[in-house]
Chains A and B, each alone.
Chain A
Amino acid sequence: MDWLPVLILGGLLTFATRLSFIALLGRFEAPEIITRALRFVPPAVLSAIIFPELLLRDGAWVTPWANPRLLAGIIAGLVAWRTRNVLLTIAVGLAAFWALGWAGM
């Protein structure tokens, strides 16, 4: 499959999103309900991606206590909560994931 057209379409939609209010302002004010709704997009979308990544493998439920991704993800979550440091969160989470795999999980 040729993926370039897919990326171009995704890129155009992203560009349109970024341009939207910048181009429209003057003719059209952003309704308050839309700006309020948009504020919830990042937390909603991010965790909609995180949860299945941690809990499922190839579409199937993984037993939590035998799931290194879930445990490492929880450890990473604690680091993120305490430090708000993106790089440290990735580093500790990946180290935990490797350590759990190493310990035979």
Chain B
Amino acid sequence: MPTHKESSSHSRWREFLRGCLDEAPILLGTMPFGLIYGVLARNAGLPAGLAQAMSAIVFAGSAQFIAAQLIGQATAGVVVVATIFVVNLRHALYSASLAPYLKHLSPGWKALLAYLLTDEAYAVAIVRYQRDAEAGHAPPFQHWYTLGAAFTLWSSWQVATAVGVFVGGSVPASWGLDFTLALTFIALVFTAARGRPMWIAALTAGVIAVLAHGLPFNLGLLLAAAGGILSGMLTEAQAGVKPRPTRTET
């Protein structure tokens, strides 16, 4: 790595700010989502402190939604942990995709960016890395850009969920806000599922989840996820096309 000590703090800061700015439009979608999480968590009976702590500890929208609901239903702790894990498993994909670009960073940087890695930060960061890679250069402070994008999302998420937690106690349960969990996931599944194999995975998982809902320890969810993934991969293999993961190309 070349070191340009003099101008480097300036360019670090510039990269950071660019990351913040590129992340900003996405906040329009995530901040209301964070607000709803706060309200939902309070409605499910979580103490305010715990509901807010989850935003810093888990820091993942979908997982926080479902965990808050499970805690509200006094589900066993093991089940809550397993569910958070499975719902967040998709982050391994982002990790694999970003890994080549973060290879040269120190362990501390890797840990920091991993903690902040979410769907929305990934979406902004990967576009930048791929654009630079296509142009055939790798500016030395790209990771400051990623930090700017990820930190913007992190801080806005903390604020939005705090507002939701704060007003949440005064929203009556009769509003049925727990239904927003299903509604949010319906919206997300339409952005996540692209192509026939993915829809087959979704349908298979949904049917298995309903059939297996009686199983103890929320095994139904894990079984459904496994069945869905398997059916999607089989469909893809049968179609004979193996679409390469487009995002990991350098």
Known: A35-B248, A56-B213, A97-B176. A13 touches B85 (CB 8 A): yes
| Inter-subunit contact A55/B176 (CB<8 Å) | no
| Inter-subunit contact A7/B58 (CB<8 Å) | yes
| Inter-subunit contact B229/A41 (CB<8 Å) | yes
Total A-B pairs, Cβ < 8 A: 270
Known: A3-B71, A42-B192, A51-B206. A18 touches B50 (CB 8 A): no
Closest to B178 in A: A53
- A32 and B95 alpha carbons, distance in the complex (Å): 14
| Among candidates B58, B87, B209, residue contacting A47 with C-beta atoms closer than 8 Å | B209
| Inter-subunit contact B100/A3 (CB<8 Å) | no
| Inter-subunit contact A14/B58 (CB<8 Å) | yes
| Inter-subunit contact B210/A18 (CB<8 Å) | no
| Inter-subunit contact A85/B187 (CB<8 Å) | yes
| Inter-subunit contact B113/A22 (CB<8 Å) | yes
| B-side interface size class | 35 or more
B92 contact set on A, CB distance < 8 A: 17-18, 20-21, 34, 38
| Among candidates B63, B94, B98, B191, residue contacting A10 with C-beta atoms closer than 8 Å | B63
| Inter-subunit contact B94/A45 (CB<8 Å) | no
Chain A's interface: helix, strand, loop or mixed, by majority? Answer: helix
- A21 and B201 alpha carbons, distance in the complex (Å): 24
- A39 and B235 alpha carbons, distance in the complex (Å): 13
B248 contact set on A, CB distance < 8 A: 30, 35
Tell me the minimal C-beta distance from B200 to chain A in angstroms. Answer: 9
Q: Indicate if B24 sits at the interface (CB-CB under 8 A).
A: no
| A-side interface size class | 35 or more
| Among candidates A17, A30, A44, A49, residue contacting B232 with C-beta atoms closer than 8 Å | A44
| Inter-subunit contact B103/A44 (CB<8 Å) | no
Stretch in B128-136, B151-159, B163-171, B220-228 with 4+ CB within 8 Å of A = B220-228
B111-122 contact mask (Cβ, 8 Å, vs A): 1 or 0 = 101110100000
Q: Indicate if B138 sits at the interface (CB-CB under 8 A).
A: no
Closest to B85 in A: A13
B53 contact set on A, CB distance < 8 A: 4, 7
| Inter-subunit contact A73/B236 (CB<8 Å) | no
Known: A7-B67, A22-B114, A52-B209. A86 touches B184 (CB 8 A): yes
Closest 9 CB pairs of A and B: A44-B228, A10-B84, A51-B206, A48-B224, A89-B187, A11-B57, A19-B114, A25-B99, A42-B192
Chain B residues close to A by CB (< 8 Å): 29, 32-33, 36, 46, 50, 53-54, 57-60, 62-63, 66-67, 71, 74, 77, 80-81, 84-96, 98-100, 102-103, 107, 110-111, 113-115, 117, 175-177, 179-193, 197-199, 201-210, 213-214, 220-221, 224-225, 227-229, 232-233, 236, 242, 245, 248
Sample 21 A-B pairs with CB under 8 A, ordered by A number.
A6-B80, A6-B81, A7-B53, A11-B59, A13-B85, A17-B85, A20-B92, A22-B95, A25-B99, A35-B248, A39-B232, A43-B193, A44-B202, A44-B229, A48-B205, A48-B225, A50-B185, A53-B182, A77-B186, A81-B190, A90-B180
Given contacts A18-B95, A25-B100, A93-B179, 18 further A-B contacts (CB under 8 A): A6-B77, A7-B57, A8-B57, A18-B91, A19-B95, A21-B99, A30-B248, A34-B96, A38-B93, A43-B202, A51-B209, A59-B213, A77-B186, A80-B190, A81-B190, A86-B184, A89-B187, A93-B183
